[in-house]
Chains A and B, each alone.
Chain A
Amino acid sequence: MNTGLYYEITQFYYREAYLLDARKFEEWLEILTDDIRYRMPLRATREKKDGSNIVEAMTFFEETKTSLTTRVKRLGTSSAWAEDPAPRTRHFITNILLETVSEDDKLTVRSHFLFKRSRAQDVGTEELFGERLDVLQKSGGTWKIASRTIYPDQTVLSVMNLSMFL
């Protein structure tokens, strides 16, 4: 393992988390490739014999760069009530695992996420957690996300909406 590369990727994810939590969504869009596939399938409770507990057929996000851009633009309107006043969010990204380093310019990376959110005066906090499977691509010397699949661990989400990006 190239520790320099590992450091580079770790910094990339911390930087991404910073952009999201600091609400620099337009800058976040810039680190996504134009043909990104951004998905969040459902998790289900299933018996072992029945197979995977990830339901690919239904998702919480099934996005392209265009649809993600629309979502970001919505946040720029004067009436995105769920996000204005803005809730406070933190993306904690850990367990970064470089799965395949087959080519110089392409990486498959697994990471864990813990997302915490504080809304208005609510004393209780909301959280989401799970795993992300990304394909990162290097072009022009910088890394971009070419594909992201978010696997939530909950079958019933304990958040009132998914107005965030994960």
Chain B
Amino acid sequence: MYRQTIEKQTIQEIKEKMEQGLLPQWILTDPSIYEREQEKIFARTWQFLAHDSELPEPGSYVTRWIVDDPILVVRTNDGEIKAFLNSCPHRGTMLCTADFGKKKSFLCPYHGWSFNLNGDLIGVVAGDKVYGEEMKKDDWGLRPIAQVAAYQGMIFATLDPDASSLEEYLGGMKWYLDILLGRSGGMEVRGLPQRWVVNTNWKLVLENFSGDPYHVQSTHRSTVELGISPKDPLYAGYGHQVVLENGHGINVITAQGQGRPERPPYQGLPEEMWPLFESNLSKEQLRVFAKTTVFVGSIYPTLSFNSPVHGSEGHLHNYLNFRVWRPLGPDKIEIWSWFMIDKAAPDDYKEDAYKGYISSFGPSGTLEQDDTEIWTRVAQTSKGYMARNKVLSYNNLLNYLMGFERVLPDENFPGPGIAYPTCYLDAIHRATHEHWLELISRD
């Protein structure tokens, strides 16, 4: 399937530049790189499909994508989550075009084959009369996705039957997901994910959430001008940037400069919820959670999250926003953005938090509007001759030198991973891109 269009020598040259804290710009939107990413990265890693609360009862289903593969995610009568290629195995028709719903079986409109929630072929029009009794229905069930697993309600799948388990893949990230998702006994998705399309590359939006608190004070300066965000240009840098395995990373931002007033603990969540945190989290997790204002990071390769604190009209509130950066090509993505909130939160708190999300993130968000503008501009400058020149004679090398060989890990940080005592740092970016290179270099 894969055509050898990137020479070993080129890979070696990218590696050498990355060892110096530099990244050739051409790799962002190069079509041959994208082709390789599809096979070496997207088809082999764990991809987020849905949150448990989106499939409330037997027969609930949602339709999703793993890049270009349409995926049907269902809850079976036993309550189990299954995922299939959303395509009739008879002649390939997309089986279900609705975004979500509830069904007992799926009927292909082309020739009328039907499938139950377990993916078994249960009905063939004129069955034995046209195919004979020798037809083995077991051979023609829906094609299951190689592996499906969930962690803290987050349902993932991988197309690779040989991929290591989800838990092994998440590694140290699980510790942080426990705080984000498991702190109060579970989260719920509100409505549907918002979806929109942006002309940019998945790697650059991933890195924006993975390890780029540095962009906040410039990209989102309009909110500083309005007095919504703090004036201290370092505020998004206070805290720890944590490099995790498999390209994952998280910023645990305290936004707490020296001599500044204490922020309320636990992201300003209602005090009545604190006992839940104490029963669901370890002492070390509580210690980190208590001091944190924003958690922002990514689960490689296409899932990012943001758990901020916003104030609107006098109230502080926190929510959890997950987003999938679905690649649609080397320079196009579809963003899927889910609003999640603690099931245990009071109803009026949930409502305020949702309004806070709408005002800040998503396509209309006063923060995110400017993100997509800038992500588009990076992609636009990556396609020219100078940027595409692989021998780099025009020096189109991007700068990932912040804190390079200068900032040492904080050994006392209680969470897993390599934690650096600042979030204004390119440590996650460098680690993520090194992981990217390792994946695309594999045979």
A residues in contact (CB < 8 Å) with B? 40, 42, 44-47, 50, 55-63, 66-67, 70-71, 73-74, 77-83, 155-163
CB < 8 Å neighbour of A162 from B355, B364, B374: B364
Residues of B within 8 A of A63 (CB): 358
Given contacts A60-B194, A157-B196, A157-B197, A74 and B366 within 8 Å (CB-CB): yes
The binding surface of chain A is classed by DSSP as: mixed
Please tell me if the beta carbons of B313 and A66 are within 8 angstroms of each other in the complex: yes
Residues of A within 8 A of B192 (CB): 42, 44, 55, 57-58
Please tell me if the beta carbons of A81 and B373 are within 8 angstroms of each other in the complex: yes
Residues of A within 8 A of B219 (CB): 81
Please tell me if the beta carbons of B195 and A157 are within 8 angstroms of each other in the complex: yes
Given contacts A71-B366, A80-B222, A81-B373, A58 and B100 within 8 Å (CB-CB): no
Please tell me if the beta carbons of B373 and A82 are within 8 angstroms of each other in the complex: yes
A158 and B197 alpha carbons, distance in the complex (Å): 5
Please tell me if the beta carbons of A67 and B359 are within 8 angstroms of each other in the complex: yes
Residues of A within 8 A of B195 (CB): 155-157
Please tell me if the beta carbons of A44 and B334 are within 8 angstroms of each other in the complex: no
For the complex, is B130 an interface residue (Cβ under 8 Å from A)? no
Residues of B within 8 A of A71 (CB): 366
Residues of A within 8 A of B339 (CB): 58
Given contacts A81-B370, A160-B372, A61 and B102 within 8 Å (CB-CB): no
Please tell me if the beta carbons of A50 and B102 are within 8 angstroms of each other in the complex: yes
- With both beta carbons as reference points, the residue of chain B lying nearest to A158 in the complex is identified as B197
A73 and B223 alpha carbons, distance in the complex (Å): 10
* Smallest beta-carbon distance A154→chain B, Å: 9
Please tell me if the beta carbons of A160 and B198 are within 8 angstroms of each other in the complex: yes
Q: List 25 A-B contacts (CB under 8 A).
A: A42-B191, A42-B194, A46-B98, A46-B100, A46-B101, A58-B194, A58-B339, A60-B358, A67-B355, A79-B221, A79-B224, A80-B222, A80-B369, A81-B219, A81-B370, A81-B373, A82-B370, A156-B195, A156-B197, A158-B197, A160-B198, A160-B376, A161-B363, A162-B363, A162-B364
* Smallest beta-carbon distance A68→chain B, Å: 10
